Structure 1
Amino acid sequence: MQEKGSPPVSSSGLNQNTAATLSYVLGFITGLIFLFLEKDNKFIRYHAMQSIVISLAFLLINTILSFIPIIGWILAPLFAPVALIIWILCMVKAYQGHWYEFPVAGKFAREQVEKMPS
Structure 2
Amino acid sequence: MKAGGQTSSGGKGGGSGLTPNISSLLCYVCAPITSVIFLLIEKENKDVKFHAWQGTLFGVAIILLNIVLNILGLMLGSLADFLGALILSFLIPVIWLIVVVLWIVCLVKAYQGEQWKIPVIGDMAAKKAGV
TM-score bracket, normalised by the shorter chain, equals 0.7 to 0.9
**CA offset digits 1:57-86 (Å, max 9, x no partner):** 122112111111224454323322211110
Match of 1:39 in 2: 43
Q: Which has the larger radius of gyration?
A: 2
Backbone CA RMSD of aligned residues = 1.6
Question: Secondary structure at the residue paired with 1:100?
Answer: coil
Match of 1:54 in 2: 58
Match of 1:27 in 2: 31
The runs of at least 4 consecutive aligned structure 1 residues that moved more than 6 Å come to none
Match of 1:77 in 2: 93
Question: Secondary structure at the residue paired with 1:36?
Answer: helix
Which ranges in structure 2 are unaligned for 5 or more consecutive residues?
Answer: 1-9, 77-84
Question: Secondary structure at the residue paired with 1:9?
Answer: coil
CA distance in structure 1 between the aligned counterparts of 2:56 and 2:88, rounded to whole angstroms: 24
Match of 1:8 in 2: 11
Structure 1 stretch displaced more, 60-69 or 71-80 = 71-80
TM-score (norm 1): 0.84
Match of 1:114 in 2: 130
**CA offset digits 1:34-93 (Å, max 9, x no partner):** 111101111101001000111111221121111112244543233222111100100100
For the pair 1:105 / 2:121, whether they are aligned, the reply is yes
Of structures 1 and 2, the one with the larger relative CO (CA 8 A, separation 6+) is: 2
CA contact (8 A) 1:100 1:106 kept: yes
Question: Identity over aligned residues, as a percent?
Answer: 36
CA distance in structure 1 between the aligned counterparts of 2:22 and 2:120, rounded to whole angstroms: 24
Which ranges in structure 1 are unaligned for 5 or more consecutive residues?
Answer: 1-6
